[in-house]
């Protein structure tokens, strides 16, 4: 990696992105025309110190995950994303890997759905980004790392979740998760991240290994979900899974029918962002 070129590119693109475009308050007395280092670091899920060292050429070999997170936070075009990967010493992810690129259309949808809980997942159900209403509803995701960001992993390894399932619903949900992941493994048979996730799951969860052996294939669809929120209590919401054609992304959108008690509880949950996390 040419460290100074990588850092200069990140710094140049950081100065181009206004805080309003990233969903941040503009504030006053800003010394930079774009994002502050602390703001970009927060959006990318890395420390401000590490970002400083990257920009100044004092940190070598950022991981693929860090480069991908920076491309999303900087709102790079597909060509700019490929260029940043090359500056970091990597080949840009190709057609044989699960896409993690937020298209301009998806970004615009997230901007327009600013008061609706929305999370964006890749095809293998690894969380790419979530908006503030989603975090208010489901809890803070900013500290999740590695497999912790994958929905299949979280469900089969018992990581905390605010979603409640009956025993029957849990069985069906697990079957659907594995069947959907089978489809993804078929579309991306040589993706090392997918292969590693499957092997990790088989080693960590006998239940997953059993279901994987069955070989069922079926896409995951939307449903209703019961969520136990620490301030708003239990609420039942429609959870729609929207697939983005060509980008192989999933948008998980939570809504409630207007005028219902669940809509009131959802409004309460979204109003407690500073108390959640």
Give the long-range contacts of residues 229-232, CB within 8 A, separation 24 or more.
229/137, 229/162, 229/265, 229/269, 230/275, 230/276, 231/268, 231/269, 231/272, 231/275, 231/276, 232/265, 232/266, 232/268, 232/269, 232/272
Question: Looking at 162-176, 214-228, 244-258, which range is the least confident one?
Answer: 214-228
Look up the CATH architecture of domain 104-275: 2-Layer Sandwich (3.30)
Tens digits of per-residue pLDDT, 59-102? 878 988 899 889 988 988 888 988 999 999 888 877 788 988 88
- The confidence score (pLDDT) of residue 154 equals 97
- The confidence score (pLDDT) of residue 130 equals 93
Each domain of the chain, given as residue ranges in start order, spans: 3-87, 104-275
| 3-state class (DSSP) for residue 129 | strand
What is the C-alpha to C-alpha distance for residues 217 and 222, in angstroms, rounded to an integer?
16
| 3-state class (DSSP) for residue 250 | strand
pLDDT category of residue 275 using cuts at 50, 70 and 90: very low
* 54, 56, 61, 65: CA torsion to nearest 10: 20
- The confidence score (pLDDT) of residue 244 equals 86
Structure tokens at 272: 């407690």
- The full length of the chain comes to 277
Q: Give buried/exposed letters for 78-117 (b at 16+ CB in 10 A, else e).
A: eeebbbbbbbbebebbeeebbbbbbeeebbebbeebeebb
pTM attached to this predicted model? 0.77
Which residues face 242 on adjacent strands?
251
Tens digits of per-residue pLDDT, 90-143? 888 777 889 888 888 898 888 888 899 999 999 999 999 999 999 999 999 988
- The confidence score (pLDDT) of residue 26 equals 60
- The confidence score (pLDDT) of residue 277 equals 34
- The confidence score (pLDDT) of residue 222 equals 75
What is the C-alpha to C-alpha distance for residues 72 and 257, in angstroms, rounded to an integer?
32
Look up the CATH architecture of domain 3-87: Orthogonal Bundle (1.10)
| Closest C-alpha among 252, 254, 214 to residue 238 | 254
Q: Across the chain, what does the average pLDDT equal?
A: 88
């Amino acid at each position: 990696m040419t460290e100074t070129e990588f850092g200069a590119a990140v710094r140049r693109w950081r100065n181009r992105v206004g805080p309003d475009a990233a969903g941040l308050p503009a504030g006053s007395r800003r010394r930079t025309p774009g994002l502050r280092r602390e703001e970009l670091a927060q959006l990318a899920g890395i420390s401000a110190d590490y970002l400083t060292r990257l920009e100044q050429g004092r940190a070598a070999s950022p991981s693929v995950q860090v480069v991908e997170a920076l491309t999303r936070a900087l709102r790079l075009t597909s060509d700019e994303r490929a260029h940043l990967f090359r500056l970091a010493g990597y080949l840009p992810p190709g057609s044989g890997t699960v896409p993690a690129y937020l298209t301009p259309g998806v970004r615009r949808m997230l901007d327009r759905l600013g008061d609706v809980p929305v999370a964006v997942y890749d095809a293998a159900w690894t969380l790419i980004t979530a908006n503030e209403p989603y975090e208010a509803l489901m809890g803070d995701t900013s500290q999740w790392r590695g497999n912790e960001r994958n929905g299949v992993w979280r469900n089969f390894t018992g990581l905390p979740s605010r979603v409640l399932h009956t025993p029957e619903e849990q069985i069906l949900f697990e079957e659907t998760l594995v069947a959907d992941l089978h489809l993804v493994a078929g579309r991306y048979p040589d993706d090392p991240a997918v292969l590693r996730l499957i092997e990790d799951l088989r080693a960590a969860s006998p239940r997953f290994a059993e279901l994987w052996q069955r070989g069922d294939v079926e896409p995951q669809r939307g449903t209703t979900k019961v969520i136990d929120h620490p301030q708003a209590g239990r609420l039942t919401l429609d959870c729609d899974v929207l697939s983005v054609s060509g980008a192989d992304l999933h948008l998980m959108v939570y809504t409630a029918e207007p005028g219902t008690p669940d809509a009131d509880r959802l409004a309460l949950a979204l109003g407690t962002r500073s108390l959640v996390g």
